[in-house]
Every structure is written in structure tokens, then in C-alpha cells.
């Protein structure tokens, strides 16, 4: 033991590899979330013998995949200092649009998929443009836009699910690679790209800068409004991706897709260290937060909590988690 | 024994000794100046005096009792922070007595009439020009400052008043009003702690001075025993060349014959016709200013003088693009300039360093490295990916070159002192290779040593051929640094003067709106 400790120390002193340095701030914030996730994981394993089965793990991973995609986008928006409450509605609209294109219009499945992603990005960009051009508060605007997008969803489907989705894309929702569900792998891929964007590119730095201090970012010559619109578009695109993967998974385009994608991603991001006031946190933390929520909801079912009590318990644990985080952070800040 | 007695106080933060062996005694009926450079420990000491934080060791007695053992003693001490922290959308009366129960308004409902009647004596005593029912956002900044003092003094039994740089956003006349309030409080037997960076104010109002340097109290004297030079030396620990001129010297360009220095020579005679101005502002108007025209040449520092509210910052922000212009045009390097696009301004080499460091300058939650790194991404990002090694090298160079005091480049910038934040902001701007740099009150709340460093930077920039605009409320600063001075009064340009050949009275006259017409260039 002792030799390895000294070896570790000497690398610390002689100069840390730059790669680690760049995200050291994020790494510090992540530590607490990782700890909480491990703790909840262990407790769950102890509470239920079914928890650790590969069958159950796949269920958790697949559930996490869809909410996770939305969470990545929402986390980027929150870091920017914005918020989009229409992400669920965009996901639903993209899903039924995909169904309509593939089934009723007979468009090639892959082309439909691409068009749906573009539609999601466009919806997000519209939100962003309205926020920046008209200087609206994103919270209020996106409540309104959620109504518009889910209304368009109902107008085009009359509330009826579209069946007969081509088998070609079924793999995207139901497939398994290396024991992992495809949607989960897609989510991890998106997370990797998002983390790279946030940590290693000027674009990501600008997002943090704007979230920290919009006025200062303007003075530095950062194109604040442009970046806002782009991040809204990214969030819309990720929601659309979640929507279309859900269609592939269900084999039908349900108008109700996305209804429960609005608040959990925000809670996940906050648990994962993203400030609702912007400027700090990371998409990785947000996904860990989403995983925490996912495991909690899973173990409640496995443990046999009465269905009537489930939301009380899971909501309570979420509140507990963020309170713990808040107390820990204040203690940490005082030390600093 | 003095009313407040501090002995061998020590306070440490991880990695930093903020206060070490600090002694301070405050007598009633005296104005105590607390002097020291940024980072000397003034804020930490004030936090301990007000009971917000507690020391690692040492003693603090208030009125003969150990305040560290009995925190109720801190109710004797009232504190007015530097920044205004009033409820802007509420009335003067509401601001004065919040929380209401403490002020004796403990009923279920609030009577506006009773509040107003109780407010009136305070308004008279402190000379606040406002009605009790008026919204705070609609009264002058100086009245807001006085209202803050009045609010602090509503605390029952307060005997010590701490004023943290109360004049930093006040004009001379407003400062005088504040001083008469301070004198009145002194007469009624209060002890006043006065924190300031302005020499004339310290000597104008102070009775006793305590100097902090690097966390230690290095002197406690009657102010009559000291000269300005002594005080500067005590604060900085060494001689600072504040008296010298920091006007840029024209290098290779021919200097005009001495006869030109007499009278108000047209700018063209100093700047040969073959050299076009770097910046040509033509009849610019916007909210708060009207019909502003001036030219800036490469290699000069152009000063902007005017009272608070004369429109100086508004003009600069409009040129930079952060505010909208209603009419007028600008040429930069002989090309027409697109107004209202700060991002294009920065891309073309025009930078603006705001007066409001916290509000418009720093990215508070990010590290020093990320704060500096944000403006050098052009150098550190290759094909869209940031090279962190490259970024660290450049940031370390900036920290070294601009003498930014920090224990790590990863420290969050909001934990740095104001002077170090300012140096980081200036260092960051330098990395963008500006062609025109606008400094808006760059030395506000900055200690003398750092001031001189900033003057040197401006001078060097100008001599390297960069155009520099300096907005300042300190006439002495403008005279020291600017080659020419533009004067403003109520949003109007009242004159352009060669610094060397203009006396102070002429400039003062031009910024208070007297005799401007004779001297207009």
C-alpha cells in the first residue's frame, strides 16, 4: 500500500496531466453525486435480490436512456441559465411526426428519422429565437410553447396512436448490443459528445460564461443570443431523438410520448450539480442524477411499495438528495 | 479603555492568513479611517467587527465586554456596505424600517401613514431628498447612500457606524452632504469607521487612522501626524511613484513646436494630417447623451471627464455596441462601424472594460484560469478543441505578468480581491490584442500600488500604438494619464483640451457646465 500512495502523490506534484486539469472543477462537483449513486445502488442491492439481475439492469438502463437524452439537453440549457419546459412536448410531436411520415406518407424510415430530428431542433430553435428576439423569460415562454407543440401533436393524430411503424427502425428501440439496450448506447454517445462540447470546445466555455454572467459575456464579445438559440435547438434535437427512439421501441407512435419528460430531467440535473441559476454543473452530473432517480423508482417497485405511495416515496427521496447536496455545498463553500 | 478594543486578532482561510496580530481601538466621538490596499484584510476585519465571522484567536471587546462570548454586543455596531443593497421597488419608508417588528411596527397590518410620520425625522436628520412614500429606484444614488446610513442608524443602541467606501459612486457635492452627516454623528458621540481609498477624503474627515498591510495593523496614528506621502508609504510598504506623469510619449512621430502647446491647439496640429484618426465619432446620440463628436488617434490616451450622470459610460457602451444609438455614426480605422454589435467590436479589436467589475466583468463561479482563458480561445483552441496545456501556459504568463495574487490558477475568481480581479480582467483583455481599449473607471476601489500598475499598462499600450480611452471621475488621474481630455456635462460635450496646457479650474468649470462655450474645441 504505502509505495502506491507515494507514487500517486509524486505524479500530483510533478504536474498533473492537463487533460485532468481541464475538468477538475467538474470532477470535484461530480464526486458527491457519484458517492450518492454508489450508496443508493448498494442499498438497493441489499433491499431486493432481484435488483442486481441483468434483466432488471437492462430495464433501468433502457428507462434511463429516454429520460437521459432529454436530461442532457435540459442540463445544457440550465448551465446556460435557461430552461425549456416544452422538451416533452417536442419529443411527443417528433414521435408522432415520425409515425405520420413513415406510415401515412410512406417516407423512407431513415429519412423520416432525420426529418424528425430536424423538426425537434427547429422547435427548440423557435423557442430560442422567441426568447432572444422578444426578450422573454424562457420559463413562461416554454410553458406556452409546450401547449402549442402538444396541441399540434393532438391536431395531427386526433389523440390516436399511429401503428404499423416499419420494422427497419425497431432495432433502434429494442436492439441489444453487448448486453446493453441500443437506446442506452445512443444516450451514452450523445452524452460523450455533449461532455466534449462543454469541456473541450470554445462553444462549451461560452455556455458556462453566459450562465455565469450574461453581461460580462456580452462585453467579451461572445455572441450570446446566437449561442442561446443553438443550445435550445440542441435540447429540441435530443428530445426528438428520445421521442423517435421511443416510437422504435413501442412500434407505435403514441401521442402521449414525452408527457413525463419535463420535470424529472430538471430534478436530475439539480441532483447532479447543475445550478438552476446557471453557470455550474455538467451533463455528466445530470445523467448521474437521472440514474439516481431511475434506481430509486426501480427499487420502490421491486421492494413492493404500494403503488399509491410510490410517488410520495420517490419524490421524498429526491427532496432529501438535493437538501443533502445543498448542505454539503454550503459547508464546502464556507471552507473555501 | 476604548469603546471597541481589538487585540492580536488572527484569522486564516485555507492557504491564506487574512489577519495576523491585528490591533484596533475605536473611541466614541471620533472618525477612524481604516486604510489599506486591496487584500490588506479590511473586509475580513469588518466582517469580524460586525460579528459575521469569528476570528481564530485574539480578543474583541465592545463597551468593555467580550463580544466573542456575548454576541448581543454586536448590536452596538451598524454597518453600511459599499454596494447599495436596498429594495429598489419598495418605498423609502419601507426600506428604512424593514424588518418592521424590530422598528416597533409589530401590528398585523402596516399603517402607511405611521410609517411615513416615523420616516420624516430620519429624512431631515440625514438630509435625504425624498418623500417617505417614494420608490427607492426613483431617488438619486447619493440619497440612496444616505438612506442606507439612515437605515443602519434605526438600530436601537448603535454607537459605532462602519462605512465601507461610501463615496465610491458619489460626486464631490454629494460627498460633502455625506460628510456633514458623518460629522453630525461624530458630534452626537458615535464612533465612525471610514473605509476609503481616496486620500483627500481620509484627510478631510478622519481623526485617527489605522493602517492595515498584508493582514497586519502597521500603524495607529492621529491623522494630523501624517502627510499623504507617509500614509501611502505605510499602506504600500514602499515608495510608489504616484506623482509622476503617465502620459504616453510620442516616439518616432515629430513633436509639435513648443508654441503650439500654448492655447487650445486644434487636434490636427498635434496629429499630422497624413495620419487618419483611429476612431472618429460623429454626432452620436443615445439615451443620456446628445450629439457627441470626437476623434481618437493611435498612441494617445483620451480622457473623459464628467460628473456622475454626465453620460460618460453610456457613450462608451454605445460606441462599443452594448447600448443602442439613436443617431450618429462612427468610423473605426477609416471604415464605417456597425453599432449595436459588441461581438463585432471585439472581433475588430475594440474592447470595453466596464466600471462594474462584478456586474459586467468577471465570471464569478468559474476559476481564474477559465476567466482568463475565455478570451484566448483563438490561441488555445486548435480545430475547435481547447488545448489545456497551451491554455495553462498563457494563463500562467498572465498571472505572472500582471502580478495577480492567487494561490492557484484554479481558484474561483470571486474569492480574489477586487484589485486582483481587475488585474485579471485587464490581463485578459491584453491577450485579445486590442487596437482600441476603453477603460471605464479602471481604478475604482483599487489601491494605489495597483493603480500605478494600471497607469503603466495604459501608457505602454498607447506607446505601442493602441488607442486608449480613459473614463474617470478623478481629475488628478486624468491629468496624470491623458494626452487630451474631453469634458462632458449632462450628456453634452463641453470641450476637448490638451492636458498639458490646461489648468484644473478650466476642466472643473467644463464638467460643471460653467464657461464651457469659450473652451469648446
Q: Would you place residue A6 in the very low, low, confident or very high pLDDT band (cuts 50, 70, 90)?
A: very low
Gyration radius from chain B CA atoms:
25
Cell of B481: 494619464
CA dihedral B271, B274, B279, B283 (to 10 degrees): 90
CA dihedral B451, B453, B459, B461 (to 10 degrees): -120
Chain B stretch 254-283, residues whose beta carbon is closer than 8 A to a beta carbon of chain A: none
Do the Cβ atoms of B461 and B469 come closer than 8 Å?
A: no
Whether B388 and chain A come into contact, CB under 8 Å, resolves to: yes
- Whole-number Å distance between alpha carbons of A95 and A113: 9
Q: Do A221 and B415 touch (CB under 8 A)?
A: no
pLDDT, average across residues A217-222: 86
Percent of all residues in chain A with a pLDDT value above 70, rounded to a whole number:
88
Question: Lowest mean pLDDT: which of A70-74, A290-294, B373-377?
Answer: B373-377
CA distances from B362 to A215, A336, B73, B315, B412 (A): 9, 18, 37, 22, 10
Which residues of B fall within a CB distance of 8 Å from A29?
none
Residue of A nearest to B393 (CA): A18
Tell me how long chain A is: 336
Give the pLDDT confidence score for residue A325 in this predicted structure. Answer: 67
Nearest alpha carbon to residue A207 among A191, A187, A227: A227
Whether B384 and chain A come into contact, CB under 8 Å, resolves to: yes
- Please indicate, yes or no, whether residues B34 and B162 belong to a single structural domain of this protein: yes
Chain A positions with Cβ closer than 8 Å to B: 18-19, 21-22, 24-25, 200-202, 205-206, 208-209, 212-213, 215-223, 275, 279-280, 335-336
Do the Cβ atoms of B202 and B35 come closer than 8 Å?
A: yes
The SS3 call for residue B108 is coil
Give the pLDDT confidence score for residue B187 in this predicted structure. Answer: 93
Of A22, A201, A220, the CB nearest to B375: A220
- Please indicate, yes or no, whether residues B177 and B88 belong to a single structural domain of this protein: yes
Minimal C-alpha gap between A70 and chain B (Å):
25
Whether B25 and chain A come into contact, CB under 8 Å, resolves to: no
In a domain, B356, yes or no: no
Final residue belonging to a domain, choices B209, B236, B263: B236
Residue of B nearest to A215 (CA): B360
Residue A7 has pLDDT above 50, yes or no: no
Q: Scan for cell 503650439, then name that residue.
A: B260
Give the pLDDT confidence score for residue B303 in this predicted structure. Answer: 93
Q: Cis ω on the peptide bond leading into residue A267 (within 30° of 0)?
A: no
Q: Which residues contact A329 (CB under 8 A, 6 or more apart)?
A: none
Alpha helices, DSSP H only, in B50-140?
Answer: 92-97, 112-125
Which residues are registered as beta bridge partners of B175?
Answer: none
Residue of B nearest to A17 (CA): B389
- Whole-number Å distance between alpha carbons of B369 and A62: 39
HSE-CB for B278 with a 13 A CA cutoff: 21
CA distances from B168 to A316, B81, B83, B175, B363 (A): 48, 11, 9, 9, 23
- Please indicate, yes or no, whether residues B104 and B177 belong to a single structural domain of this protein: yes
Do the Cβ atoms of A230 and A142 come closer than 8 Å?
A: no
Which residues of B fall within a CB distance of 8 Å from A27?
none
- The DSSP code for A169 is G
Minimal C-alpha gap between B427 and chain A (Å):
13
DSSP string of A58-90, one letter each residue: HHHHHHHHHHHHHHHHHHHHHHHT---TTHHHH
- Whole-number Å distance between alpha carbons of A41 and B324: 55
Q: Do A221 and B346 touch (CB under 8 A)?
A: yes
Q: Do B388 and A19 touch (CB under 8 A)?
A: yes
Do the Cβ atoms of B189 and B29 come closer than 8 Å?
A: yes
In a domain, B357, yes or no: no
Final residue belonging to a domain, choices B415, B430, B445: B430
- Whole-number Å distance between alpha carbons of A78 and A271: 13
- Please indicate, yes or no, whether residues B338 and B451 belong to a single structural domain of this protein: yes
Nearest alpha carbon to residue B431 among B378, B384, B467: B378
Residue of B nearest to A24 (CA): B410
- Whole-number Å distance between alpha carbons of A12 and A24: 13
- Helices A283-303 + A263-271 axis angle, to 10: 110
Taking residue A167's Cβ as centre, other Cβ atoms within 10 Å add up to 10
CB-based burial, B95-107: b 16+ in 10 Å, e otherwise: bbbbeeeebebee
Residue A229 has pLDDT above 90, yes or no: yes
Each residue's pLDDT tens digit, A183-198: 999 999 999 999 999 9
- Please indicate, yes or no, whether residues B319 and B378 belong to a single structural domain of this protein: no
Looking at every residue in chain A, the average pLDDT score rounds to 84
SS3 percent helix, strand, coil of chain B, rounded to 5, is: 35, 25, 40
In a domain, B516, yes or no: yes
- Whole-number Å distance between alpha carbons of B49 and B37: 19
Count of domains observed in chain B: 3
Which residues of A fall within a CB distance of 8 Å from B367?
25
Nearest alpha carbon to residue B364 among B408, B407, B425: B425
Of B14, B346, B365, the CB nearest to A220: B346
**Structural domain containing residue B381:** 362-430
The SS3 call for residue B487 is strand
Tell me how long chain B is: 521
Q: Which phi and psi (to 5°) does residue A113 adopt?
A: -60, -45
Which residues are registered as beta bridge partners of B25?
Answer: B5
- Please indicate, yes or no, whether residues B331 and B377 belong to a single structural domain of this protein: no
In a domain, B354, yes or no: no
Burial of B481 (0-12, 13-18, 19+ CB in 10 A): buried
Cell of B252: 518616432
CA distances from B163 to B12, B84, B179, B369 (A): 24, 12, 11, 33
- Whole-number Å distance between alpha carbons of B133 and A192: 57
Which residues of B fall within a CB distance of 8 Å from A219?
320, 322, 342, 352, 354, 360-361
Q: Do B343 and A221 touch (CB under 8 A)?
A: yes
Which residues are registered as beta bridge partners of A162?
Answer: A253
Residue of A nearest to B409 (CA): A21
- Whole-number Å distance between alpha carbons of A75 and A81: 10
Give the pLDDT confidence score for residue B257 in this predicted structure. Answer: 43
Give the pLDDT confidence score for residue B140 in this predicted structure. Answer: 85
Give the pLDDT confidence score for residue A336 in this predicted structure. Answer: 43
How many Cβ pairs within 8 Å bridge chains A and B?
Answer: 90
Each residue's pLDDT tens digit, A94-147: 999 998 888 888 888 889 899 999 999 999 999 999 999 998 889 999 999 999
Q: Do B363 and A213 touch (CB under 8 A)?
A: yes
Residue of B nearest to A213 (CA): B363
In a domain, B294, yes or no: yes
In a domain, B22, yes or no: yes
Q: Domain locations in chain A?
A: 27-335
- The DSSP code for B58 is E
Intra-chain end-to-end CA distance of chain B, in Å:
61
Question: Residue A121 belongs to what H/E stretch?
Answer: helix A109-133
Residue A152 has pLDDT above 70, yes or no: yes
Write out chain B's pLDDT in tens, 521 residues: 789 999 999 998 766 778 999 999 999 999 999 988 767 888 889 999 998 888 999 999 998 888 888 888 888 899 998 877 888 888 899 888 877 777 777 777 777 788 888 899 989 888 899 999 899 988 888 888 889 989 888 877 889 999 988 887 777 778 888 899 999 999 999 999 999 877 788 888 999 999 998 888 988 989 888 888 788 778 776 655 566 788 887 654 444 444 444 444 444 444 444 478 899 999 999 888 889 999 999 889 999 988 777 888 899 999 999 888 899 999 888 888 888 889 899 988 999 998 877 778 888 888 899 999 888 887 787 778 888 888 888 899 899 888 888 888 888 888 887 788 888 988 888 888 889 999 998 887 777 778 888 898 899 889 888 999 999 887 888 888 999 999 988 888 988 998 888 887 788 778 776 644 444 43
Nearest alpha carbon to residue A75 among A326, A210, A296, A270: A270
- Whole-number Å distance between alpha carbons of B413 and B421: 7
Which residues of B fall within a CB distance of 8 Å from A19?
388
Residue of A nearest to B344 (CA): A221
Give the pLDDT confidence score for residue B207 in this predicted structure. Answer: 94
Residue A332 has pLDDT above 80, yes or no: no
Give the pLDDT confidence score for residue B301 in this predicted structure. Answer: 93
User: Does A27-335 carry CATH code 1.10.3470?
Assistant: yes
Give the pLDDT confidence score for residue A185 in this predicted structure. Answer: 94
Residue A39 has pLDDT above 60, yes or no: yes
- Please indicate, yes or no, whether residues B182 and B129 belong to a single structural domain of this protein: yes
Give the pLDDT confidence score for residue B520 in this predicted structure. Answer: 41
Give the pLDDT confidence score for residue B227 in this predicted structure. Answer: 84
Give the pLDDT confidence score for residue A25 in this predicted structure. Answer: 47
Domain containing B277 — which CATH number? 3.40.50.300
- Whole-number Å distance between alpha carbons of B99 and B120: 18
* Numbers of helices and strands, H then E, in chain B: 19, 22
Residue A40 has pLDDT above 70, yes or no: yes
Q: Do A336 and B14 touch (CB under 8 A)?
A: yes
Here the ipTM equals: 0.73
- Helices A307-335 + A24-47 axis angle, to 10: 150
pLDDT, average across residues A284-295: 92
Do the Cβ atoms of B251 and B463 come closer than 8 Å?
A: yes
Burial of B394 (0-12, 13-18, 19+ CB in 10 A): middle
DSSP string of A29-59, one letter each residue: HHHHHHHHHHHHHHHHHHH-TTTTSHHHHHH
Do the Cβ atoms of A252 and A167 come closer than 8 Å?
A: no
Percent of all residues in chain A with a pLDDT value above 90, rounded to a whole number:
41
- Please indicate, yes or no, whether residues B224 and B88 belong to a single structural domain of this protein: yes
Give the pLDDT confidence score for residue A27 in this predicted structure. Answer: 54
Give the pLDDT confidence score for residue A227 in this predicted structure. Answer: 94
- Please indicate, yes or no, whether residues B8 and B101 belong to a single structural domain of this protein: yes
Q: Scan for cell 492557504, then name that residue.
A: B15
- Helices A109-133 + A138-157 axis angle, to 10: 150
Amino acid at each position: 500500500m504505502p509505495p502506491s500512495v507515494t507514487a500517486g502523490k509524486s505524479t500530483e506534484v510533478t504536474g498533473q496531466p492537463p487533460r485532468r486539469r481541464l475538468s477538475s472543477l467538474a470532477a470535484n462537483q461530480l464526486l458527491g453525486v457519484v458517492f450518492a449513486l454508489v450508496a443508493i445502488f448498494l442499498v438497493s442491492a441489499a433491499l431486493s435480490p432481484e435488483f442486481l439481475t441483468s434483466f432488471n439492469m437492462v430495464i433501468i438502463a433502457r428507462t434511463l436512456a429516454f429520460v437521459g437524452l432529454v436530461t442532457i439537453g435540459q442540463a445544457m440549457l440550465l448551465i446556460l441559465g435557461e430552461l425549456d419546459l416544452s422538451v416533452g412536448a417536442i419529443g411527443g410531436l417528433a414521435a408522432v411526426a415520425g409515425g405520420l411520415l413513415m406510415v401515412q406518407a410512406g417516407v423512407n424510415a431513415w429519412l423520416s428519422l432525420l426529418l424528425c430530428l430536424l423538426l425537434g431542433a427547429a422547435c427548440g430553435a423557435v423557442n430560442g429565437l422567441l426568447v432572444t428576439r422578444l426578450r422573454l423569460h424562457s420559463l413562461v415562454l416554454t410553458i406556452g410553447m409546450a401547449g402549442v407543440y402538444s396541441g399540434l401533436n393532438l391536431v395531427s393524430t386526433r389523440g390516436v396512436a399511429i401503428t404499423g411503424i416499419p420494422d427497419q427502425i425497431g432495432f433502434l428501440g429494442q436492439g441489444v448490443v453487448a448486453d446493453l439496450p441500443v437506446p442506452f448506447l445512443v444516450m451514452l454517445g450523445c452524452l460523450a459528445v455533449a461532455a466534449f462540447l462543454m469541456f473541450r470546445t470554445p462553444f462549451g466555455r461560452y455556455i458556462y460564461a453566459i450562465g455565469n454572467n450574461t453581461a460580462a459575456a456580452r462585453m467579451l464579445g461572445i455572441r450570446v443570443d446566437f449561442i442561446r438559440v443553438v443550445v435550445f435547438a440542441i435540447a429540441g434535437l435530443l428530445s426528438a431523438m428520445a421521442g423517435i427512439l421511443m416510437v422504435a421501441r413501442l412500434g407505435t407512435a403514441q401521442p402521449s410520448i414525452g408527457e413525463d419528460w419535463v420535470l424529472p430531467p430538471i430534478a436530475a440535473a439539480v441532483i447532479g450539480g447543475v445550478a438552476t441559476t446557471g453557470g455550474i454543473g455538467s451533463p455528466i452530473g445530470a445523467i448521474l442524477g437521472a440514474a439516481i432517480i431511475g434506481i430509486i423508482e426501480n427499487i420502490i417497485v421491486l421492494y413492493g411499495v404500494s403503488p399509491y405511495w410510490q410517488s410520495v416515496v420517490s419524490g421524498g427521496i429526491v427532496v432529501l438528495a438535493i437538501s443533502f447536496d445543498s448542505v454539503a455545498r454550503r459547508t464546502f463553500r464556507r471552507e473555501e | 479603555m476604548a469603546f471597541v478594543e481589538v487585540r492580536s486578532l488572527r484569522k486564516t482561510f485555507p492557504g491564506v492568513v487574512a489577519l495576523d496580530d491585528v490591533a484596533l481601538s475605536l473611541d466614541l466621538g471620533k472618525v477612524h479611517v481604516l486604510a489599506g490596499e486591496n487584500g490588506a484584510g479590511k473586509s475580513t476585519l469588518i466582517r469580524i467587527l460586525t460579528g459575521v465571522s469569528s476570528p481564530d484567536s485574539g480578543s474583541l471587546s465592545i463597551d468593555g465586554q467580550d463580544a466573542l462570548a456575548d454576541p448581543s454586543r454586536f448590536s452596538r455596531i451598524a454597518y453600511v456596505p459599499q454596494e447599495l443593497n436596498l429594495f429598489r421597488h419598495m418605498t423609502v419608508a419601507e426600506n428604512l424600517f424593514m424588518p418592521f417588528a424590530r422598528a416597533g411596527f409589530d401590528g398585523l397590518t402596516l399603517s402607511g401613514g405611521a410609517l411615513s410620520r416615523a420616516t420624516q425625522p430620519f429624512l431631515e436628520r440625514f438630509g435625504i431628498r425624498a418623500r417617505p412614500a417614494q420608490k427607492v429606484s426613483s431617488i438619486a444614488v447619493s440619497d440612496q447612500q444616505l438612506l442606507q446610513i439612515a437605515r443602519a442608524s434605526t438600530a436601537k443602541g448603535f454607537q459605532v457606524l462602519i462605512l465601507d467606501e461610501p463615496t465610491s459612486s458619489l460626486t464631490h457635492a454629494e460627498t460633502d452632504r455625506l460628510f456633514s452627516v458623518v460629522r453630525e454623528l461624530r458630534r452626537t458621540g458615535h464612533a465612525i469607521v471610514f473605509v476609503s481609498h481616496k486620500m483627500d477624503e481620509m484627510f478631510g474627515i478622519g481623526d485617527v487612522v489605522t493602517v492595515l498591510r498584508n493582514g497586519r495593523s502597521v500603524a495607529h496614528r492621529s491623522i494630523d501626524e501624517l502627510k499623504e506621502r507617509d500614509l501611502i508609504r505605510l499602506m504600500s510598504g514602499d515608495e510608489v511613484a504616484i506623482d509622476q506623469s503617465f502620459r504616453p510619449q510620442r516616439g518616432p512621430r515629430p513633436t509639435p513646436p513648443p508654441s503650439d502647446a500654448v492655447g487650445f491647439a486644434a487636434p490636427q496640429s498635434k496629429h499630422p494630417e497624413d495620419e487618419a484618426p483611429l476612431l472618429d465619432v460623429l454626432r452620436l446620440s443615445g439615451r443620456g447623451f446628445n450629439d457627441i463628436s470626437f476623434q481618437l488617434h493611435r498612441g494617445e490616451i483620451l480622457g473623459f471627464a464628467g460628473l456622475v450622470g454626465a453620460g460618460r459610460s453610456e457613450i462608451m457602451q454605445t460606441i462599443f455596441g452594448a447600448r443602442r444609438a439613436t443617431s450618429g455614426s462612427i468610423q473605426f480605422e477609416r471604415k464605417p462601424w456597425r453599432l449595436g454589435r459588441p461581438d463585432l467590436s471585439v472581433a475588430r479589436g475594440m474592447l470595453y472594460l466596464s466600471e462594474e467589475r462584478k456586474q459586467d466583468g468577471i465570471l464569478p463561479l468559474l476559476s481564474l484560469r477559465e476567466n482568463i482563458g475565455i478570451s484566448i480561445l483563438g490561441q488555445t483552441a486548435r480545430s475547435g478543441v481547447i488545448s489545456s496545456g497551451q491554455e495553462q501556459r498563457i494563463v500562467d504568463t498572465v498571472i505572472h505578468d500582471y502580478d495577480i495574487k492567487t494561490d492557484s490558477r484554479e481558484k474561483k475568481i470571486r474569492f480574489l480581491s477586487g484589485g486582483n480581479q481587475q488585474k485579471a480582467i485587464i490581463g485578459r483583455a491584453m491577450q485579445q490584442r486590442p487596437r482600441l481599449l476603453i477603460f471605464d473607471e479602471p481604478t475604482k476601489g483599487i489601491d494605489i500600488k495597483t493603480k500605478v500598475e494600471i497607469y503603466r499598462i495604459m501608457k505602454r499600450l498607447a506607446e505601442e500604438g493602441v488607442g486608449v480611452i480613459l473614463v474617470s471621475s478623478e481629475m488628478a488621474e486624468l491629468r496624470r494619464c491623458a494626452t487630451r481630455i474631453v469634458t462632458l456635462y449632462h450628456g453634452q460635450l463641453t470641450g476637448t483640451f490638451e492636458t498639458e496646457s490646461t489648468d484644473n479650474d478650466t476642466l472643473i468649470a467644463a464638467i460643471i457646465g460653467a464657461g464651457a462655450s469659450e473652451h469648446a474645441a
